[in-house]
Structure 1
Amino acid sequence: MTEPLSFRRRDRVLEAMAARGLDTLVLGRADNTFYASGMRGLWTAGTRPFGAGCVVIAETGRTHVLSTSDAGLPETMTKEDLYSLTWNPQVMAGHLAAIDGFAESTLIGVDEVSPSFERAMARIAPRADIVPADDLMAEVRRIKFDEEIERVEAACAVAWSGVEAVLQTPGNPNPIGTAIVAMAKAGTTVPASTPTVLRRGDETIIDLGVLLDGYEGGLGGTFVYGQRQATPPIVDACRSGANHADLANAAAGPWLVRGLGMGFENPVLDPGHGHGEVLESGMVLSVSHRDHRDVIAVTDGPPRILSTRPASL
């Protein structure tokens, strides 16, 4: 029987921690927290400072999450692995100190950090050195499990429902609203990017992106009489072993190839970035060329296009 995805992601994080000798991993970014724990937090508007949203302990193999509710608790966790929300730094320090194995840590990795967190660590885990681990999380998320690829494909299908709703109502004065309603009916209200709908004569330029069950999907293109214009060669160029020069040679205009999963991920390649990157089988990429955007999975052969129009539409 296949182990649940949340277990496999957690185990990948623990393996990366072991390779670096980390006793504890403290995560503040919501996407990293979801990857390591399988538990999503509430969405908030605006920016916020770094906070210990998730703690992974190497010795116990357990993940602990900042949450006032056990709704959506994954198989990897129990209610005892949750610590409650507070704005009092002393109370938060007490929560962290109570986690089994935290105070004894000698090497703590963080995906972000703040001066107040460093001061708290000096009291809670006085023997610990704090080191960056944002690159650790980027690396473990770089290659996707098959189930993650399926979730991205499902999110792309939801984005297509928004595209179809726009194409079927050419005279609609509020096409973006129509797309959002259609995508909500298909399963999600969480955008992954700013929706775009532009009409120029017979052409309609559409780009939609969503998050479904924590994973991003989307597509873009120029549509003429309901049909998307041809896929650019750069999409087919995204194969295992391809490098920056291969992608640049396949492009005939502005282009961007970047990792996609729980949002904007590595690698990132465009005319000015990513010259040392090499694509690997198992990567999931958002491939943009002018107004066209596809989501693909890199394989050992031709890329698997995840943003193909679903047969059900």
Structure 2
Amino acid sequence: MEAGEACGTGADMPRGTREMYARRRDRLRRLMAARGLDALLVSRAPNRFYLSGFELHDPQCNESAGRLVITADGGDWLATDSRYADAAARLWDRKRIFLYGGDTAGDLARLLRRCGARAGLEAQGVSHAFARELAARAGRFPSLEAADGLVERLRRIKEPEEIAAMERSFALNHRLLRHVEEGLARGDWRGREERELAWEIERFFRENGAEGLAFASIVAAGPNGALPHAIPGAARIPAEGPVLVDVGCRVDGYCSDQTRTFWAGDAPGKEFSRALALVRAAQAEALAVMRPGLALADVYAAARAVFAREGVEDHFTHGLGHGVGLETHEAPSLSPRATGALEPGMTVTVEPGLYYPHWGGVRWEHTVLVTQDGVRVF
């Protein structure tokens, strides 16, 4: 440990949890060995947390709470600054905590130099300026190379502990959606602004056990539903009309993500009813074909084919889904450009949608766990 002391030995973390993180790092080491890497500098916050339990989030986009240096010989380091010294020591052996100062790139280059001749870094998790400075400070030793996606490859397949956390997160999400649907049916939100309902959603999550939102809630009334990532504003919930709600919470570190499109009022319009029926049919078709070994792009194709048969495919303007876990959007992707295949343990959304600027849109989203012979909806 350098540049100061931190009390603790990592004993605050339960033994079983420590062993879980250690197993993950050992699996990462095997991927590193295939690349011939002596060390990997882990900078992306969710990857850091996945491997150590340390700080799921960075303070903001231009700050880092710390990094991991995973080494081929198992002598891993948690590198951070003095603000996090005590927090790190609650999770990590203080003898393997490296505190850097104002010269972060220079200090990390010196640490990497002690870990071997060939080091990888998550190039997508650092700025170009930082990567350039780190390379300049490292010089010829160690050699640095981009090594993105190694931790993400592990994270694609969820472990039983992760699945259990996601089940708790989705159980709360389902409760919230029932709360919203029942309120709309009673007319509780008639004439209220989208942002008021968005605040009610956040309050409900918080008051019922969520650590926070998984992402900023989408509440889109009427024509705003044609914006897949609409921002809740001053538009009002209609007495009769569509209301799209896309929400997620975080429980035990893991995200949920679900979309429903409700009709506020008693008489759903014909355009809305047809769009909803087609979206639900496209989702059902995708769920029916999903199984291990199926190409990711083929899942998207199955849903799009339903729209194409009805001549509405041009109104389906985004991919079919994405992975969910420590992040709301993570690998794999269900899109026409996706490569790879479904594997047991993947957790992905299935969220077809149709969008019409003159009246709104419909999206219906389930997140599923890929099983040995199909999928299970959370």
1:208-257 CA distances to partner (integer Å, 9 max, x unpaired)? 0233333221211224589x985721233322122223541234343422
Please give the TM-score of this superposition, normalised by the length of structure 1. Answer: 0.81
Deviation at 1:298, TM superposition (A): 0.7
SS at match of 2:206: helix
> Aligned residue for 1:265?
330
- Structure 1 position 59 matched with structure 2 position 77: no
Residue 144 (structure 1) aligned to one of 158, 168, 172:
158
Alignment of 1:104-143 (within 5 A): 104-112=115-123, 113=126, 114-124=128-138, 126-143=140-157
| Structure 1 residues 168-187: aligned runs within 5 Å | 168-170=182-184, 171-172=188-189, 173=192, 174-187=196-209
Paired letter, 2:332: P
Which residue of the other structure, out of 235, 251, 254, is the alignment partner of 1:212?
Answer: 251
Query: SS at 2:246's partner residue?
Result: strand
Give SS of 2:256's match: strand
Distance 2:30 2:173 in 1: 34
What is the Cα deviation at residue 119 of structure 1? 3.9
* 8 Å Cα contact 1:288/1:294 also seen in 2: yes
Structure 1 CA distance for aligned equivalents of residues 321 and 56 of structure 2 = 29
8 Å CA contact 1:188–1:212 kept in 2: the answer is yes
Cα 1:37/1:209, change in 2 over 3 Å: same
- Confirm or deny that 1:11 pairs with 2:26: yes
Give the residue type in structure 2 aligned to 1:134: D
- Say which SS state the counterpart of residue 197 (structure 1) adopts: strand
- Give CA deviations for 1:15-35 in whole Å, capped at 9, x if unaligned: 211222211111221111112
User: 1:309 is matched with which residue?
Assistant: none
Residues 216, 262 of structure 1: 8 Å contact kept = yes
Q: Does the CA-based 8 Å contact 1:38-1:74 persist in structure 2?
A: no
Matched, 1:153 2:153: no
The answer (yes or no) to whether the contact 2:33–2:72 under 8 Å persists in 1 is yes
| 2:107 aligned partner | 94
Distance change (3 Å), C-alpha of 1:12 and 1:5: same
Q: Which amino acid aligns with 2:374?
A: P
Structure 1 pair 262–66 and aligned structure 2 pair: CA distance change class (3 A):
same
For the pair 1:277 / 2:292, whether they are aligned, the reply is no
How many Å separate the matches in 1 of 2:90 and 2:139?
28
Q: Give the C-alpha shift of residue 117 in structure 1.
A: 4.1
Cα separation, 1, equivalents of 2:181 and 2:100: 44
Task: Indicate if the aligned counterparts of 2:300 and 2:320 stay in contact, CA closer than 8 A.
Answer: no
C-alpha distance in 2 between matches for 1:246 and 1:154: 26
SS at match of 2:59: coil
Distance 1:153 1:65, change over 3 A: farther
Post-superposition shift, 1:268?
A: 1.4
Secondary structure of 2:244 counterpart: strand
TM superposition shift of 1:118: 4.2
Matched letter for residue 182 of structure 1: F
CA distance in 2, matches of 1:215, 1:72: 21
Q: Which SS does the other structure have where 1:134 is aligned?
A: coil
Question: Which residue type is aligned with residue 71 of structure 1?
Answer: A
- Structure 2 residue aligned with 1:236: 288
Greater alpha carbon shift after TM alignment, 174-183 vs 204-213 = 204-213
User: How far does the alpha carbon of each residue in 1:139-182 deviate from its partner, in whole angstroms, 9 at most, with x for none?
Assistant: 22222212212222222223233323323433233211111011
- Confirm or deny: 8 A CA contact 1:27 1:52 kept in the other structure: no
Number of the residue aligned with 1:191: 213
Secondary structure of the 1:211 match is: strand
- Cα distance change, pair 80–42 in 1 and its aligned pair in 2 (3 A): farther
Q: Which runs of 5+ in 1 are unaligned?
A: 307-313
Task: Note if contact 1:103-1:124 (Cα within 8 Å) is conserved in structure 2.
Answer: no
CA deviation string 1:247-271 (max 9, x = no partner): 412343434222222212222122x
Structural mapping, 1:24-43, within 5 Å: 24-40=39-55, 43=58
- Does the 8 A contact of 2:108 with 2:134 survive in 1? no
Query: When the two structures are superposed, what TM-score results if normalisation uses the length of structure 2?
Result: 0.68
Aligned residues: 297
5+ residue gaps, structure 2: 1-14, 223-239, 266-275, 308-315, 354-362
Within the alignment, does 1:221 sit opposite 2:235 as a pair? no
